[in-house]
Structures are given as C-alpha cells and as structure tokens.
A and B are shown apart, each in its own frame.
Chain A
Amino acid sequence: MTNVEKTENIVPETSNNIVIDEKFEVKHLDKTSDGIEVIDVSGDKLIELATYLKMHINTQFNMLLSVSGVDKSDCYEVVYHLFSTIFKKNLILKVRLNRESPSVESLCGLYSAANWHERETYDLLGINFNNHLSLERILLPKDWVGHPLRKDYVNNDKRLSWNER
C-alpha cells in the first residue's frame, strides 16, 4: 500500500484538474457543506467523464454510491454520488435534463450498482436511461400509470378506487 500514499500526495484536487475541465466541458458548482465537490456535466459527456474518473490513476472513483433524481420544475436533474476507495474521496456529478424527454446514458456497464438505482429513478421520476439492461419499474406495479415523484403527477387511476382516502 506504499503506492497509495505516494499517489495520494500527487493527486490534484479533482475540481482543479485542468484535463477534466477542458476535455469534458464541466462546470463546478458550490461545494456541499461537508466539502464534497459538485460537478455539473452535460448528458452527452457523462459516460466519458465517468469512465475517465473511474479509470484514471489519479482519480480512481471505483464505487457508485447512489443515483437519484430531482424534479426542479424547469428541468430534471440526475445526481450521481461517486466514491474512491483508494483516496477516500467523494464526488458528486449532476446532469440536467430537459422536461420534455428526459434521457441520459446509463452507467450500468461501468458500475453494476447503477442498475437498480437507475430503475428506481425511472420508476419514480420517469427519466429514461439509454442502453440500460432492463429498464422497468422496480418499486411500483409494472402497469402503474405515471411517475409519482414528478411535481405534476396526479393519481387518477380508476382501478385504484378501492384505495381512495
């Protein structure tokens, strides 16, 4: 593990890494209250950036903690929490998607943990993950109508009349 100590000394702050900034056209947002860097990236560049962050020796974000979605009224936002078990460092990626047809490339091939998290995000927010292995509902019955965590969701399914308040 002596290698680790060496690389830890030379690893730059990810937010200051010029390579990432230029190559992937990212935008740095404010850090969270506990000092985790937040990076805004466009949907086209997401898979390249995630591959870079996972594979590059100076970053090695080899663990995906969670995938979640936010409905921001004017757009949808998908949030990825990455963690490097080598450097003990967190990183947050945010992707903004348009309201009409929110879709983003799936990270299934890169992180197997993304599979169920992306299914949940699809289930509750209706965000489509392209090239996902089996993008179907995970928490709700498969013929459920609508995506409940959207701001404009209204449940008027007549089949559920037995469960009205």
Chain B
Amino acid sequence: MQIILTAVDFIYNWGRSNSLWPLTFATSCCGIEMISASAATFDISRFGSEVFRATPRQADLMITAGTVTHRMAPALIRLYEQMPEPKYVIAMGACAVTGGMFENDSYSVVRGVDRLVPVDVYLPGCPPRPEALLDAIIKLQKQMKTETILDRKKYLDAHKPRVTLSEDENCEVLLPNEEFEVIHWGVQKTGYSKDEIATSALSASSQ
C-alpha cells in the first residue's frame, strides 16, 4: 500500500509542481517584477508557471506581490477562499512579508499577509529581482514534491484564513478568527477578549 501511494504521490506531485498556475494579484511595485519574470528575459514558463490566471478558480498559487491595505484585505481573503485546493501562497516583497517600511506607524497597512492567510514561501526584497521570484517558485516546487496525499486532511486544516469577514454587511473591518489569536510570523503573540471586540464593534456602528 505504501509503495503504491509513494508512486501515486510521485506522479501527482510531479504534475502539480510543474504546472503551478499563479493568480494575477499585483498590488504595487513588486507586480512589475512579477510581470518582468513572466516576460521573455526571465521566462517563468521554464518552470511551468507562465499561465497567469485572471480568475482564482483556475489558479494554484497566489503571489501576493506588494503592499496589502485594510481596504484590500477582504478582497485578498475572498480570492484565497475561491482558489481550489491545494493552494499555495508566496509572500513577495518586504511589504507582504512584514509590512516593510509601513510596519512602524502605518494605520492602513496589513503587517504581512501571513496575518491574513498562511504563507508557504517568504520572499524578501524591495522589490525582489525576478530571479528571486524564480528561486521562490523552485523552492515551493521542492516543498510540494515532499507532500503526500495522506497528509491532505492536516493540510486542509492548516490552510484557513486567519481573520474573518463579519456577517454584518455594515462591518468592513476584518475580525480575528476565533481559531487563531494574534499571529506574527506564524506565532501567536497575545490573546484578545471577545467581549472587548464586541463592545468596540458596537461603538463603531453607533458612530
């Protein structure tokens, strides 16, 4: 059984990892490097990723190229949820990794997309060169080739968005997911009290 599964895994992973179709998600200057990586000089199609999809339904990989703001965050989560499993995320550039130069005092910038969705490869740089993006894709391919179908349940549990959209349509601010607390670099920092959030949401709606 194990031998058969290994053989199936090999073919399955080989097929998946060599046809990683990215989602076109360019929010700032890193997007230019991403476009450049797909053009003739750097030629991302050597690694099977040249098919940039304009719809999340056909994409396996989200390259979050650029700064993500509070206003953009719900769109990012919605796109991530619409992608079919198995799905992967590359956080491209300093802003997507930690918030970059907006990390200190900004009121509007999300301090790293790992606070919104789980990230597989962190790609620093401001912006990273196209070669660095190709390297990140190769690293992701290597990671994918170590996976097995048996771990799929575990994988699905781990790949949930870490914040949620409110059911109230008047609430556009993202709320912390109850399963996750405050997350920074994949580590939970401090907890929060649900009552506090409820009262502050109430005061916001009354204003």
Contact = CB atoms under 8 A, between A and B. Distances in A.
A153 B106 CA distance: 12
B205 A162 contact: no
A148 B203 CA distance: 17
B175 interface: yes
A158 B192 contact: yes
Interface residues of B, number: 33
Interface string A138-154: 01111111001000010
Contact of B192 (A144, A145, A153, A161): A161
Nearest to B175: A159
B170 A141 contact: no
Contacts, number: 71
Contact of A165 (B103, B196, B199, B201): B103
Contacts of A141: 70-71, 172-173
Interface residues of A, number: 19
Given A157-B173, A162-B183, A163-B111, A143 B205 contact: yes
Contacts of B180: 162
Contacts of A1: none
A162 B162 contact: yes
Nearest to B203: A145
B206 to A, nearest CB: 10
Contacts of A165: 103-104, 111
Nearest to A139: B71
Contact of A159 (B107, B189, B190, B201): B201
A139 to B, nearest CB: 6
A142 B192 CA distance: 23
Interface of B: 70-71, 103-104, 107-108, 110-111, 115, 162-163, 170-176, 180, 182-183, 189-190, 192, 196-197, 199-201, 203-205, 207
Given A139-B71, A163-B115, 5 more contacts: A143-B173, A143-B205, A153-B107, A162-B182, A165-B111
